[in-house]
């Protein structure tokens, strides 16, 4: 029997990742093999149903590429940007303005004939995935952090996914730092999210080269091409991430941190600063395994 048909007999799940930039879908077997996947650019629309239609088409493409029919699915797991009401799955993602209190979980259950549906914050889904099959396998306590348009985090504590309302993005990493959208000052997100970093670089005199758009991709390109304001901005973000991680590690006895998200892929200026920030602050023997 080939592995694909074996997996189909045991059942498989539809995994969805819904963001403001892209929608991705995969058909995943019970042992974690990806049997098929699809990805589309997020639609630009102010119609909530049209946005959902794009999600549905992406899911159908993934099913087709896996050769799996919807009635073979055991269930659906969906990561989506927050904020959201959990576990009801009413989502109001900051990056998807057309969805406000959108009943995503109900709509997916309706589309897939009453199959079980779980909707969670995308960073929580990242933590679950990394703990199951990725960098955090067998970790007792770990954190997964998404660094992109916003900053979010998911925790595994005592080998279990933690479902609380914590938000690493609003840990204060600089009490005198810039104002945050949440109303506080010096939050991690106010320094280390892509838009915050771009805003700070522009305030320091950064000029995107060749008349390019001032966004986090251009900022990273600019840093890697030798622009000192851009590289300092990435380092500032990386230092802030390192400080937040060490705070979490001190509090929760974490052993592994996984960083993901578009802005975390900005290159060595960001990552070197994360490591440096961490090594300056992680002085006790208990960090030896990091």
| Share in percent of the chain as helix, strand, coil (round to 5) | 45, 25, 35
Measured from the CB atom, is 131 or 170 closer to Zn ion? 170
Binding flag, residue 184, Zn ion (CB under 5 A):
yes
By rule CB under 5 A, what string of x and - marks binding of each residue 222-241 to Zn ion? --------------------
The residue range among 27-35, 116-124, 150-158, 172-180 that interacts with Zn ion, by the rule CB under 5 A, is 172-180
* Nearer to Zn ion among residue 130 and residue 189 (C-beta): 189
All residues at 6 or more sequence positions from 24 whose CB lies less than 8 Å from its CB, including other chains: 16, 17, 37, 38, 39, 58
In the complex with Zn ion, the residue whose CB is nearer, 90 or 185, is: 185
Q: Which residue lies nearer to Zn ion by CB, 34 or 172?
A: 172
Q: Binders of Zn ion among 185-224, rule CB under 5 A?
A: 187
Q: Interface with Zn ion by CB under 5 A: which range of 74-82, 184-192, 235-243, 265-273?
A: 184-192
Nearest in space to 80 (alpha carbons), one of 57, 60, 99, 64: 99
* Sign of CA pseudo-dihedral 230, 236, 242, 245: negative
Taking the C-alpha atoms of residue 150 and residue 25, their distance in angstroms, rounded to an integer, is: 21
Question: Least separation, in Å, of the C-beta of 167 and Zn ion?
Answer: 8
Residue 103 or 150 with smaller CB distance to Zn ion: 150
| Alpha carbon distance 29, 6 (integer Å) | 9
* Helices within the chain (DSSP H only): 3-10, 48-66, 104-111, 122-133, 189-192, 194-203, 216-224, 228-252, 268-281
Ranges within 28-67 binding Zn ion (CB under 5 A) = none
Sheet strand arrangement including 102-103: 84-85, 90-91, 102-103
170 binds Zn ion (CB under 5 A): yes
Report residue 184 as tokens: 């506080």
Q: How many residues bind Zn ion (CB under 5 A)?
A: 5
Least distance CB 184 / Zn ion (angstroms): 5
**Per CB under 5 A, which region of 77-85, 107-115, 178-186, 253-261 contacts Zn ion?**
178-186
Nearer to Zn ion, 200 or 269 (CB): 200
Which listed range, 55-63, 128-136, 142-150, 177-185, lies at the site for Zn ion (CB under 5 A)? 177-185
Name the one range near Zn ion by CB under 5 A: 67-75, 114-122, 165-173, 280-288.
165-173
Query: CA-based angle 224:18:186, to the nearest 5?
Result: 55
Structure token pair of residue 112: 């897939």
180 scored as a contact of Zn ion (CB under 5 A): yes
Does 182 help bind Zn ion (rule: CB under 5 A)? yes
Task: Give the number of C-alpha atoms closer than 13 A to the C-alpha of residue 267, restricted to the C-beta side.
Answer: 17
Interface ranges with Zn ion (CB under 5 A) = 170, 180, 182, 184, 187
């Amino acid at each position: 029997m080939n592995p694909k048909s074996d997996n189909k007999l045991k059942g498989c799940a539809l995994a969805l990742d819904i963001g403001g930039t892209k929608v991705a879908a995969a058909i995943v077997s019970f042992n974690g093999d990806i049997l098929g996947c699809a990805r589309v650019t997020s639609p630009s629309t102010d119609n909530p149903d049209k946005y959902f239609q794009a999600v549905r088409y992406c899911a159908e493409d993934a099913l087709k590429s896996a050769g799996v029919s919807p009635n073979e699915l055991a269930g659906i797991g969906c990561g989506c940007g927050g904020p959201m009401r959990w576990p009801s799955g009413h989502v109001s993602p900051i990056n998807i303005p057309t969805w406000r209190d959108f009943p995503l979980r109900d709509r997916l259950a309706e589309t897939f004939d009453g199959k079980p549906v779980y909707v969670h914050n995308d960073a929580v889904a990242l933590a679950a995935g990394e703990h199951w099959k990725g960098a955090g396998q067998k970790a007792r306590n770990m954190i997964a952090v998404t660094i992109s348009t916003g900053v979010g985090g998911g925790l595994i504590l005592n080998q279990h996914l933690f479902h609380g309302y914590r938000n690493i993005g609003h840990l204060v990493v600089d009490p005198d730092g810039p104002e945050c959208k949440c109303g506080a000052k010096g939050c991690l997100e106010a320094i280390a999210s892509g838009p915050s970093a771009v805003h700070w670089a522009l305030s320091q005199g950064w000029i995107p080269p060749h008349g390019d758009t001032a966004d986090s991709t251009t900022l990273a390109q600019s840093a890697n091409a030798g622009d000192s304001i851009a590289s300092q901005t990435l380092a500032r973000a990386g230092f802030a991430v390192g400080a937040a991680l060490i705070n979490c590690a001190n509090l929760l006895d974490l052993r592994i941190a996984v960083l993901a998200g578009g802005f975390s892929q900005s290159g060595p200026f960001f990552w070197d600063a994360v490591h440096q920030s961490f090594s300056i602050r992680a002085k006790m023997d208990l960090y030896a395994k990091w």
